[in-house]
């Protein structure tokens, strides 16, 4: 069984609002292949949009999932249903990755905004 190592940026982004604090935890995760993981994110505002992005190596940020509160999430390109989000409150979102693969390794960022970008 291979070890999958994924670092997480310890602060998310608030797009277009400098007064919004976005935080995510844990800040670093190491899991074994085929295990599941959860990453929590909270915002200090009530922005309707919350998003998860991934950066692998020196590549650009890739949208993983976007949530407009209480609506069906939007998946990024080439993101499978092993990725899911839970958003029971407007100010928080949890990313779950089931059956983690080595290709899931990367930096995961949470973002919050009033509008989609």
The model's confidence at residue 20, banded by pLDDT at 50, 70 and 90, is: confident
Structural domains counted in the chain? 1
Rounded average pLDDT over 64-79: 93
pLDDT computed for residue 16 by the predictor:
47
Q: What is the CATH number of the domain that holds 91?
A: 2.60.40.10
3-state secondary structure the chain: CCEEEEEECCECEECCCCCCCEEEECCEEEEECCCCEEEEEEECCCCCEEEEEEECCCCCCEEEEEEECCCCCEECCCCCCCEEEECCCCCEEEEEECCCCHHHCCEEEEEEECCCC
pTM listed for this prediction:
0.82
Domain residue limits at 21: 3-113
């Amino acid at each position: 069984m291979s070890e999958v190592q994924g670092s997480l940026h310890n602060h998310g982004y608030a797009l277009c609002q400098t007064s919004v604090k976005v935080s995510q935890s844990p800040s670093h995760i190491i899991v074994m292949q085929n295990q599941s993981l959860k990453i929590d994110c909270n915002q200090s505002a009530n922005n309707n949009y919350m998003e998860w992005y991934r950066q692998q190596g020196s590549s650009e940020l890739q949208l993983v999932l976007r949530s407009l509160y209480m609506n069906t999430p939007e998946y990024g390109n080439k993101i499978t249903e092993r990725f899911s989000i839970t958003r029971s409150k407007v100010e928080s979102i949890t990313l779950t990755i089931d059956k983690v693969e080595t290709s899931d390794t990367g930096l995961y960022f949470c973002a919050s905004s009033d509008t989609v970008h």
